[in-house]
Amino acid sequence: MGYKFATNAIHAGQSADPTTGAVMTPIYQTSTYQQAAPGDHKGYEYSRGTNPTRRALEECLAVLENGKYGLAFSSGMAATETVLKLLKPGDEVITGDDLYGGSYRIFTKVYERYGIRFHFVDMSQPEQIESKINGNTRLIWIETPTNPTLKLADIAAVGQLAKDAGVLLAVDNTFASPYLQNPLDLGADIVMHSVTKYIGGHSDVVMGALVVKEQELYDRLFFYYNACGGTPGPQDCFLVLRGIKTLHLRMQAHCNNGREVAEYLKTHPRVEKIYWPGFEDHPGHAIAKQQMRDFGGMVSIVLKGASLQETFDVASSFKVFTLAESLGGVESLINHPATMTHGSIPKALREQVGVVDNLIRISVGVEDIGDLLADLEQALDR
Ligand SMILES: *Cc1c(COP(=O)(O)O)cnc(C)c1O
């Protein structure tokens, strides 16, 4: 092995189909598999548990994250939920105060009801995590960079805290993608992805994934995977395998365009504040340089003195950027976090972490940079 990222993105987990020589992994559209005698099969029994198209994708994801075992899910939230199933009533979780809205919702609205306690702290301050660790702590769940204010958590520092306390560290690596950051190398036990975003990359599939290094942990996660059934279909797995073949090309283009958009917006008179970890004055810049290979394609801005209506007017006036939820696709998207992606977080709490009414999040796509800058200019000059 020992291949580089670009080679792995195109080949890992995949080999020519033994029956036909098909170079691309076939879509094994089957729920079940013939057995020669009861229990005598080729490693596949029923597709809730395993399917060859999905298996190819899982192996590819495991290699890209420098892990050993991958699991693909029907959504990012199904992947997150499967990690939470490792817990039992009385267990405690320490997590971030500016999480993806859906993660906040599943923690507080679903799993708190089952007797699991969540502590929300500023993940960029490891001492805040340390202060919440006690004998009931089982899991630390972090996201870095965060959504939408792009705060950084030092994965190696949090990994050390987790290791010292004997608790699991899970990292939601959706915003960075495996091209920019590999949490398992920095001490994480579990990497989670919303594959829907950069990994899929074309805004045509909803899918999630987990990657781990330890077989014992994989076996426990696989048990809940198979028992509960958040499995994706083979067509979607095929589409993601196809998307991953250009992950390195797309990510570099997202990073390059992201940098140009951030630099253009930084001095724009209508921009009061800008979040992009590539700026030296971004509070997480040093950590980003240390644990990421580039700064990504996400940029958030606060519009100077804009009311909710004025912010809506700007958000609705783009021609190349599309106003939509989600991120990480080849096309550029504009999002209004306060009412769209983060609508499920109470107003006081979201404002505390910077999700104000005049914040706009930009997922910079890979279109022509001149067209993107011109579209930003016409929308902001309105
Ligand atoms: C989208 C997203 C999720 C949830 O993933 P789905 O595929 O939408 O279920 C989790 N974390 C982050 C950071 C996300 O952006």
Q: 99 with 206, same domain?
A: yes
What is the domain extent for residue 229?
Answer: 5-244
Q: Mean pLDDT of all residues in the chain?
A: 96
Q: 311 with 182, same domain?
A: no
Q: 217 with 153, same domain?
A: yes
Work out the average pLDDT over 254-263: 98
Total domain count, the chain: 2
Alpha-carbon distance of 361 to 47, in angstroms, equals 38
Residue 350, Ramachandran bin (φ over 0: left; ψ between -120 and 50: alpha; else beta): alpha
Work out the average pLDDT over 370-375: 98
225 in active site: no
CA distances from 209 to 62, 77, 96, 270 (A): 10, 9, 20, 39
Q: 11 with 101, same domain?
A: yes
At 93, give phi and psi (nearest 5°). -125, 135
Q: 204 with 91, same domain?
A: yes
Give Cβ neighbours of residue 18 (< 8 Å, ≥ 6 apart). none
Q: Look at residue 101 in the predicted model and tell me its pLDDT.
A: 87
Domain with residue 190: its CATH number is 3.40.640.10
Q: Which of 71, 77, 83, 239 to mutate to test the pocket of ligand 1 (most atoms within 8 A of CB)?
A: 77
Q: pLDDT grade, residue 111 (50/70/90)? A: very high
Q: Tens digit of pLDDT for each residue in 326-363?
A: 999 999 999 999 999 888 788 888 898 899 999 999 99
Instruction: Tell which atom from ligand 1 comes closest to the C-alpha of 328.
Output: 15
Q: Look at residue 346 in the predicted model and tell me its pLDDT.
A: 85
Work out the average pLDDT over 294-312: 97
Q: With a 6 A CB cut-off, is 335 part of the ligand 1 pocket?
A: no
Q: Is residue 22 scored above 70 in pLDDT?
A: yes
Among 195, 192, 129, 196, which Cα is nearest to 163's? 129
Q: Tens digit of pLDDT for each residue in 62-101?
A: 999 999 999 999 999 999 999 999 999 999 999 999 888 8
Q: 92 with 229, same domain?
A: yes
Q: Tens digit of pLDDT for each residue in 209-223?
A: 999 999 999 999 999
Alpha-carbon distance of 217 to 62, in angstroms, equals 14
Q: Look at residue 1 in the predicted model and tell me its pLDDT.
A: 54
- Pairing type for strands 208-212 and 69-73 reads antiparallel
Alpha-carbon distance of 72 to 192, in angstroms, equals 10
Q: 80 with 189, same domain?
A: yes
The pair of structure tokens assigned to 168 is 């699991």
Domain with residue 358: its CATH number is 3.90.1150.10
Protein residue with least CA distance to atom 9, ligand 1: 76
Q: 259 with 210, same domain?
A: no
Q: 155 with 269, same domain?
A: no
Using the 3D structure, point to which of 202, 220, 244 is the last residue of a domain: 244
Q: Look at residue 345 in the predicted model and tell me its pLDDT.
A: 80
Give just the sign of the alpha carbon dihedral 169, 173, 177, 179: negative
CA distances from 28 to 31, 34, 197, 202 (A): 9, 13, 24, 22
100 in active site: yes
Q: With a 6 A CB cut-off, is 173 part of the ligand 1 pocket?
A: no
CA of 253 to the centre of ligand 1 (A): 22
CA of 77 to the centre of ligand 1 (A): 6
Q: 89 with 61, same domain?
A: yes
Q: pLDDT grade, residue 382 (50/70/90)? A: confident
The pair of structure tokens assigned to 145 is 């960079």
* 163, 186 Cβ separation under 8 angstroms: no
Q: Look at residue 98 in the predicted model and tell me its pLDDT.
A: 87
Among 82, 151, 132, which Cα is nearest to 110's? 82
Alpha helices in the chain (DSSP H): 5-11, 52-64, 76-84, 101-105, 126-130, 155-165, 177-180, 215-228, 234-244, 247-266, 285-291, 308-315, 347-352, 369-380
Helices 234-244, 52-64: crossing angle, 10 deg rounding:
30
CA distances from 162 to 134, 188, 211 (A): 11, 9, 18
Q: Look at residue 77 in the predicted model and tell me its pLDDT.
A: 98
Q: Look at residue 342 in the predicted model and tell me its pLDDT.
A: 85
Q: Look at residue 147 in the predicted model and tell me its pLDDT.
A: 87
Among 126, 189, 124, which Cα is nearest to 157's? 126
Please report where in the chains the tokens 């209004």 appear, as a residue.
336
48 in active site: yes
Please report where in the chains the tokens 């021609």 appear, as a residue.
319
CA of 151 to the centre of ligand 1 (A): 17
Work out the average pLDDT over 95-112: 94
Among 129, 216, 148, 145, which Cα is nearest to 183's? 145
Q: With a 6 A CB cut-off, is 100 part of the ligand 1 pocket?
A: yes
Instruction: Report yes or no on whether pTM surpasses 0.85.
Output: yes
Q: With a 6 A CB cut-off, is 172 part of the ligand 1 pocket?
A: yes
Instruction: Tell which atom from ligand 1 comes closest to the C-alpha of 207.
Output: 7
Q: 270 with 238, same domain?
A: no
* 208, 82 Cβ separation under 8 angstroms: no
CA of 205 to the centre of ligand 1 (A): 12
- Pairing type for strands 359-363 and 137-143 reads unpaired
* 374, 264 Cβ separation under 8 angstroms: no
Using the 3D structure, point to which of 202, 228, 244 is the last residue of a domain: 244
Go through the chain and tell me how many residues it has.
Answer: 382
Q: 203 with 345, same domain?
A: no
Instruction: Tell which atom from ligand 1 comes closest to the C-alpha of 80.
Output: 10
Q: With a 6 A CB cut-off, is 147 part of the ligand 1 pocket?
A: yes
Q: Which of 74, 103, 194, 240 to mutate to test the pocket of ligand 1 (most atoms within 8 A of CB)?
A: 194
Q: Is residue 158 scored above 60 in pLDDT?
A: yes
Using the 3D structure, point to which of 196, 212, 244 is the last residue of a domain: 244
Work out the average pLDDT over 158-181: 98
197 in active site: yes
